[in-house]
Amino acid sequence: MSRKGIETMVGGFVLLGIVALVFLALKAANLSSFSGDETYPLLAKFDNIGGLKVRSPVRSAGVVVGRVESIALDPKTFQGVVKLDVKKSVQFPADSSARILTSGLLGDQYIGLEAGADEKNFAPGDTIKQTQSAVVLESLISQFLFNKAADAGSTPAAPATNGGKK
Amino acid sequence: MNSLAAIGRYTLDSLRALGHHAFFFWELMRTLPTSLRRPYFAVAQVHALGNLSLLVILSSGLAVGFVLALQTYYALATYGAADSVGLVVNLSLVRELGPVVTALLFAGRAGTSLTAEIGLMKAGEQLAAMELMAVDPKSRVLAPRFLGGIVAMPVLALLFSAVGILGAYVVGVLMIGLDPGNFWSIMESGVDVRRDLGNGIIKSIVFGVICSFVAVYQGYEAKATPEGVARATTRTVVISSLTVLAMDFVLTALMFSPR
Amino acid sequence: MPSEPARPNLDGPSTDALIEVEHVSFGYEPGRTILNDISMRFVRGQVTAILGGSGCGKTTVLRLIGGVHPVNQGSVRFDGEAIDTRNAEQLFRLRRRLGMLFQFGALFTDLSVYENVAFPLREHTDLDDAMIRDIVLMKLNAVGLRGAANLRIAEISGGMGRRVALARAIALDPELLLYDEPFTGLDPIAMGVTANLVRKLNDALGATSLIVSHDVQECFEICDYAYIMASPGVVIAHGRPEELNASTDPQVRQFIRGEPDGPVPFHYPAPPLAQDLGLGV
């Protein structure tokens, strides 16, 4: 095969590889969603971060607006300090709240931001004051059992009222 | 006592072989600048090793995609998670099967042809003739083939994975009847470009280095007889495959350990 | 260049030597010596033959001159300079001045005849394609294969292959030509052609040629001087062909005349036949 022919074929080969890469990156992975946008940092403190991981999404109304950049423990207050990178194009009022939610029933956890009503917005580096920690399954179960026990304890009072009426 | 001496000798021989490999690798590296001055030879090798392996790689990728889709469907359907077939196939391919299976196929098809070609050139005194013509055979013959393999491997691995996913689409959506929208969206949200795709590409580059180096080394060090060349080609496949699988374990542990 | 008619006269040890092998001993491994304290001189402009039976080490001498292996003892001098095999720059310089014809040609099987001869030109010169074409065709013409330029190596016969290899060896007009068993396996016509070419090219290029062979007849017809080697890697005789033909040394006579038995015995060492057949004592 001639020299030019071989170089053309190799060019085609490499092009095929690039096409495969682009396909895999765009269609089959999350490249298109979030990269390269300018972001600003926000801090949020939680009593329990649950299963939140670095690079977990930050959503508002279900739309991805940022990523978790880092998670650390505050040694004085023993709270989890989460640093978020939020897209510059989305500004939140200074009294917005952050909750740790689960996508689906058994899915990954993410941070949900609910916008507040303040006229002023968060400045970069601000701390979100209102936070709600992740739901811990054990606490949920013990709470459920406690409620159940409470209901069982309070029902005997009802028949007494009925009896009183009669 | 004889067995002890045998073990000792075997260990020393292995160490010697390892050192010999390291020297050879160093010599090969030193010739890269010179050989890159005439890139046509490396380009021709990308054609010989990459283009001419396309048939094997693409058909294997398609077949693996088909089978993976079927098997994961059977497994996931019991949990009502059949819609995740695309995601599971993608992750399996891009993280593991793409780089590894391509490397094994590459060692078998391209690695053996490299070893045989170089071994036969050595047997026909072509390499010695080159040396006496003041042309360094490592720079003129070995380095382009080594580089060609390193360029070809990642491209082949990407094509393998891409074709495999398309194959999974054919089986999952067109044949089984899964929802195409879910197929792609669940896949998209679950596969991370940097972590999964990027690490897979790094793996395939590492495997490319391994397979190309072993093939070129075995060819160059083959005994200049027909049996010598035959044994060298067998060694290429065996050593490449085992090293790739071992490195895969190491790389997977490093890359995909839960943070 | 005009070819010289007669062989030049040897004026004794003061004649200028291109290659000097001085008291060289060599072995691949410490126990096995292939060459034992040999000394040879190869005079400029002459065709010198190294003759000997198989395994006597004559091809090894060629390899040492090419700088492929370092000697264990003694030195090999190329144009007065001792060859140091660890000096890559020196080896590169020396090898540019020599051309070697391997026993079976050692042609590059993936290239055509033309590309084989063009190889040294492409690797070592910056000449453009037109000039390379002219030179390649001239070299092929010198060996009589200009018409075969576009054939693939697989399509040519053994004798033709060796001529192509010769054309490749002279591509850069070397000062030194090394021939490793150039006559082995050739039919009488091809042998005659090759011998003729070796002599003509040597004279036309003003080069020095070394032929390693065991074909005494052909070599004596074209060489000016010859060394005869024998098995433990020693030189048993050297001189001009007429001198060697007249030698009375039994080893030399046996080799030159091809006598089946003599100092080199016919029988491989064995106990007496009667003993092997079990007859008596």
**Span C206-224, mean pLDDT?**
92
Phi, psi (rounded to 5 degrees) for A151: -60, -45
C220 touches chain B (CB under 8 A): no
Q: State pLDDT tens for residues B195-250.
A: 888 999 999 999 999 999 999 999 999 998 989 999 999 999 999 999 999 999 99
C neighbour chains, 3+ CB pairs within 8 Å? B
In the structure, what pLDDT confidence band is assigned to residue A162 with cuts at 50, 70 and 90? very low
Q: State pLDDT tens for residues C30-62.
A: 778 888 889 999 999 999 999 988 878 888 999
**Span C11-25, mean pLDDT?**
75
pLDDT at residue A35 in the model: 55
**Span A33-40, mean pLDDT?**
66
C87 touches chain B (CB under 8 A): no
Q: State pLDDT tens for residues C151-209.
A: 999 999 888 999 999 999 999 999 999 999 999 888 888 888 899 999 999 999 999 99
Q: Which residues pair with B73 in a beta bridge?
A: none
Work out the minimum CA distance from A36 to partner chain B, whole angstroms. 13
**Span A80-108, mean pLDDT?**
83
Residue in A13, A28, A53 nearest the CB of B51: A13
CB contact under 8 A, A29 and B46: no
Distance CA B135, CA B146 (A): 18
In the structure, what pLDDT confidence band is assigned to residue C3 with cuts at 50, 70 and 90? very low
Cβ-contact A113, A60 below 8 angstroms: yes
pLDDT at residue A116 in the model: 84
Query: Which two structure tokens, joined as six digits, stand for C79?
Result: 């144009």
Distance CA B251, CA B191 (A): 18
Nearest-CA residue of chain A relative to B159?
A: A20
Q: Which residues pair with A72 in a beta bridge?
A: A81
Residue in B43, B158, B197 nearest the CB of A6: B43
A neighbour chains, 3+ CB pairs within 8 Å? B
C261 Cβ neighbours under 8 A, 6+ residues apart: C254
Q: Which amino acid is at C214?
A: H
Query: Which stretches of chain A are DSSP H helices?
Result: 3-22, 137-154, 157-165
In the structure, what pLDDT confidence band is assigned to residue C9 with cuts at 50, 70 and 90? very low
For chains B and C, tell me whether 3 or more CB atom pairs sit within 8 A of each other. yes
Over the Cα atoms of chain A, what is R_g?
A: 26
pLDDT at residue A143 in the model: 85
Decide if pLDDT at C6 tops 50: no
pLDDT at residue A118 in the model: 82
CB contact under 8 A, A24 and B94: yes
CB contact under 8 A, B132 and C109: no
Using a 10 angstrom Cβ sphere, with 0-12 exposed, 13-18 middle and 19 or more buried, the burial of residue A34 is middle
pLDDT at residue A148 in the model: 87
In the structure, what pLDDT confidence band is assigned to residue C117 with cuts at 50, 70 and 90? very high
Residues of A in contact with B46 (CB under 8 A): 10, 13-14
What predicted TM-score, i.e. pTM, was given to this entire model? 0.79
CB contact under 8 A, B134 and C106: no
CB contact under 8 A, B132 and C95: yes
CB contact under 8 A, B132 and C120: no
B92 touches chain A (CB under 8 A): no
Residue in C95, C104, C107 nearest the CB of B133: C95
Decide if pLDDT at C5 tops 60: no
Query: Which two structure tokens, joined as six digits, stand for C268?
Result: 């491989």
CB contact under 8 A, B128 and C96: no
Distance CA B26, CA B22 (A): 6
3-state secondary structure of C20: strand
Q: What share of chain B is helix, strand, coil (3-state, %, to 5)?
A: 90, 0, 10
Which H or E run includes C49? strand C47-52
pLDDT at residue C12 in the model: 43
Cβ-contact A42, A84 below 8 angstroms: yes
Distance CA A59, CA C130 (A): 69
B55-69, B74-88, B221-235: least confidently modelled range: B74-88
In the structure, what pLDDT confidence band is assigned to residue C17 with cuts at 50, 70 and 90? confident
For chain B, the average pLDDT equals: 92
Q: State pLDDT tens for residues C227-271.
A: 999 888 888 889 999 988 888 888 888 888 888 877 777 888 888
Decide if pLDDT at A61 tops 50: yes
pLDDT at residue B193 in the model: 81
CB contact under 8 A, A27 and B188: yes
DSSP string across C57-124: SHHHHHHHHTTSS--SEEEEEETTEEP-TT-HHHHHHHHHTEEEE-TT----TTSBHHHHHHHHHHHH
**Span B143-148, mean pLDDT?**
95
Picking from C176, C170, C223, the residue whose alpha carbon sits closest to that of residue C65 is C176
Tell which of A19, A24, A71 to mutate to test the B interface (max B CBs under 10 Å): A24
Whose structure tokens read 């054919």? B170
CB atoms within 10 A of CB A5: 10
Q: State pLDDT tens for residues C132-165.
A: 999 999 999 999 999 999 999 999 988 899 999 9
Size of interface B-C (CB pairs under 8 A): 42
Residue in B121, B128, B134 nearest the CB of C124: B134
A38-52, B213-227, C204-218: least confidently modelled range: A38-52
ipTM of the complex: 0.82
Residue in A3, A17, A31 nearest the CB of B158: A17
For chains A and C, tell me whether 3 or more CB atom pairs sit within 8 A of each other. no
3-state secondary structure of C45: coil
Q: State pLDDT tens for residues A64-73.
A: 888 888 888 9
Nearest-CA residue of chain B relative to C66?
A: B132
Cβ-contact C163, C193 below 8 angstroms: yes
Which H or E run includes C50? strand C47-52
C98 touches chain B (CB under 8 A): yes
The sign of the CA dihedral A48, A50, A55, A61 is negative
Lateral strand order in the sheet of C225-230:
C98-101, C176-180, C208-213, C47-52, C225-230, C234-239
Decide if pLDDT at A90 tops 90: no
**Span B46-73, mean pLDDT?**
94
CB contact under 8 A, B126 and C91: no
pLDDT at residue A31 in the model: 57
Tell which of B47, B117, B132 to mutate to test the C interface (max C CBs under 10 Å): B132
C66 touches chain B (CB under 8 A): yes
Residues of C in contact with B40 (CB under 8 A): none
Using a 10 angstrom Cβ sphere, with 0-12 exposed, 13-18 middle and 19 or more buried, the burial of residue B80 is exposed
In the structure, what pLDDT confidence band is assigned to residue A30 with cuts at 50, 70 and 90? low
Residues of A in contact with B189 (CB under 8 A): 30, 33
Residues of B in contact with A21 (CB under 8 A): 158, 197, 201
Work out the minimum CA distance from B50 to partner chain A, whole angstroms. 7
Cβ-contact B111, B237 below 8 angstroms: yes
B46 touches chain A (CB under 8 A): yes
**Span C94-100, mean pLDDT?**
92
Residue in C100, C103, C123 nearest the CB of B132: C100
In the structure, what pLDDT confidence band is assigned to residue B51 with cuts at 50, 70 and 90? very high
Decide if pLDDT at A6 tops 70: yes
Q: Which residues pair with C230 in a beta bridge?
A: C234
**Span B18-31, mean pLDDT?**
92
Tell which of B85, B160, B188, B199 to mutate to test the A interface (max A CBs under 10 Å): B188
Segments of C136-215 assigned E as strands: 176-180, 208-213
